[in-house]
Structure 1
Amino acid sequence: MNELTDKTVGFIGLGLMGRPMCRNLMKAGLTPVVYNRSPQPRQELAREGAVAADSPAEVAEQADIIVIMVADTPAVEHVLTGPDGVLHSLRSATLLIDMGTTAVPATRRLAALVEEKGALYVDAPVSGGTIGAEAGTLTIMAGGSEQAFALARPVLSLLGERITHVGATGAGQVAKAANQVIVGLNIGAVAEALALAKAAGVDPARVRAALRGGFADSRILEVHGQRMLDNNFAPGGKCTTQRKDMHQALELAAELGLEMPATALSRDLYDRLIDDGDGDLDHAALFRLYTKS
């Protein structure tokens, strides 16, 4: 906390993940300058002690460190380069930390624009969903220079428990792409396994209990398997977000000449779920593809 005493932290993007993350900064004694495209979340946090800004540019006018947690690559681009974007008033030596899941080529291009202004850039996407965001236990995978990462670490440590500097700019987003491939395929495996048990007339809850502790066990089986059993798909991470992340991973693979057929199939299954109207449900709702009558 001492390293942040004289710093003003900005936070842009107050959605499912951003809002609890910003609250964790406030619990640590910071007074963040906040912006969100829709006014209600920033007004809500202002009532709790944050300072509400009317644009990303206004955040940049005040903040020494800016955390961005928005939905997708176009949203990050708009926050930085839009008519009232951060780049219009970005000061030299400011640190930008993109904690959303952004395409790797765009990350490197945006980082170059930021660095042209004399500022620093870290891509630091997260894993752990809203559970981790609320508890401050996110897994954070960071890309950027050693200098930028060192400056980012005090903020990141207020938001997550496992923080890894993966490599140069874009490396954090590469790690997140790998994470989302594993998450998506694992959700699919758990959904199919529990659906198989149910179709065979065996209690899927007991099957899940039998699998715990063996080679098939995982955080997905623990958390999302329970959601499937409970038919509780209140979003921690939305189907649309999971689909977007897997598509970005496939785009990166295509640029590298790598085939990922299992990931492509999983992405297509999420397309079916979204077409069925379930896009805003938690990504564990993939189970519904197998259990709808």
Structure 2
Amino acid sequence: MAMTAIGFIGLGVMGGPMAANLVKAGFEVTGYNRSPEKTQRLVAAGGRGAASAAEAVEGADVVITMLPDSPDVESVLLGSGDDGVIARLAAGTTVVDMSTIRPDVARSLAAAGAQRGVGVLDAPVSGGEQGAIDATLSVMAGGDAATFEAARPVLDAVGKTIVHVGPAGAGQTVKAANQLIVGGTLQLVAEALVFLDAHGVDRARAVEVLAGGLAGSAVLDRKAPAMLAANFRPGFRVDLHHKDLGIVTAAAREAGVAIPVGALVATLMGSLRAQGHGDHDHGALLLQVERLSGRASA
């Protein structure tokens, strides 16, 4: 069956532009967000607005959720039983949860969907706000292979690198690894910038040459310019990366895996959040390194 009608729940920094790109790709998109003004942005982009999650998914072939945390996704998809979204869907509908949540929760959602004949994919993304706007996100999908292939046209409309990484929960496990790498790299970029500044080196020129060598990375390319400009308007908030690193450390402990550097970065991210920077971009790790080095501007 050609999937054309999409119910999209969660139209925030990432979900809003993703839903708009689905409209551009020719899908019929009905969106819902707790903040009505974000729903109106989708309407302005050519989509439809809904007053509730239940209304958004009515008649949908595919349901996409893009929500902050595991409890939010569970509340929307499972509810307290018959009031959850999954219970309202017809057999054969596909749910694609693109939030970043715990792998064990992703597995439980897939099991709940299977009981009702609803396919559930955990398909978190990486690429940040700009990737969502440009439809160049990396999508790491876990779940049934046939369900993934059926949903592929939808995923292609929001991302550039689309990979089925394994069974239910695998997508969230890969995303946890992604957040581990991104967090660690950001911390080292912050340390390098403070180190360069302490030695009086032109940091912009240093970043230019570093980006062309082995130290180059997407994190350096996308985050260093804003960090150099002390622009911490959130593309990805400290609060969310703190949550994600909590997922990483819990999953590592469950598997008996040592992540000493990751655990330290999780502590530093938590400290940054405790200092009141939760709403800043995670590049604000720079502020903490400056403070620890006695080089804070204020």
State the TM-score, normalized to the length of structure 2: 0.94
Instruction: Determine whether 1:30 maps to 2:22.
Output: no
Match of 1:164 in 2: 163
Deviations 1:245-276 (A, max 9, x none): 11101110111111211111111111111112
Match of 2:58 in 1: 61
Within-5 A mapping of 1:1-293: 3-4=2-3, 7-82=4-79, 84-291=83-290, 292-293=296-297
Tell me which amino acid in the other structure corresponds to 2:202: D
- Separation in structure 2 between the aligned mates of residue 60 and residue 194 of structure 1, nearest angstrom: 47
d(CA) in 2 for partners of 1:173 and 1:272?
25
Task: Describe the SS at the equivalent of 2:63.
Answer: strand
Give the drift of 1:290: 2.1
SS at match of 1:287: helix
Q: Deviations over 1:22-62 (max 9, x none)?
A: 00011112221111122221133224332222222223322
CA contact (8 A) 2:8 2:57 kept: no
CA contact (8 A) 1:58 1:89 kept: no
8 Å CA contact 2:30, 2:57 repeated in 1: no
Kept after mapping to 2: 8 A contact 1:59/1:86:
no
Deviations 1:136-155 (A, max 9, x none): 00011111111110111010
The answer on whether the counterparts of 1:60 and 1:91 sit within 8 Å (CA) in structure 2 is no
Report if the CA contact (8 A) 2:5-2:60 is conserved. yes
Deviates more, 1:192-201 or 1:204-213: 204-213
Q: Secondary structure at the residue paired with 1:142? A: strand
Q: Tell me the alpha carbon deviations over residues 142-199 of structure 1, each in whole angstroms, 9 at most, x when there is no partner.
A: 1111111011101000000110110111111111111110000000010001111112
* Letter paired with 1:289: Q
Please give the alpha-carbon distance, in whole angstroms, between the structure 1 residues aligned to 2:93 and 2:18. 20
CA distance in 2, matches of 1:133, 1:68: 14
Which stretches of structure 1, 4 residues or more, deviate above 3 A after TM superposition? Answer: none
Quick one: which amino acid aligns to residue 285 of structure 2? L
Identity, % of aligned pairs? 45
Query: What is the CA deviation profile of residues 97-118 of structure 1, one whole-angstrom value per residue up to 9, with x for unaligned ones?
Result: 0111110001101111111111
Paired residue total:
290
Larger displacement relative to structure 2 (229-238 or 46-55): 46-55
- Root-mean-square deviation (CA, aligned residues, Å) is 1.4
SS of equivalent to 2:262: helix
Which shows bigger deviation, 93-102 or 38-47? Answer: 38-47
More displaced stretch, 203-212 vs 15-24:
203-212
2:16 & 2:36 partners in 1: Cα distance? 13
Alignment partners' CA distance in 1, 2:217 and 2:187: 13
Give 1:212 shift: 2.1
CA contact (8 A) 1:57 1:87 kept: no
Are the equivalent residues in 1 in contact too, given 2:165–2:171 (CA < 8 A)? yes
The alpha carbon displacement at 1:206 in A equals 2.2
- When residues 147 and 278 of structure 1 are mapped into structure 2, their CA distance, relative to the original with a 3 A threshold, is same
Q: TM-score, normalised by structure 1?
A: 0.95
Q: Secondary structure at the match of 1:268?
A: helix
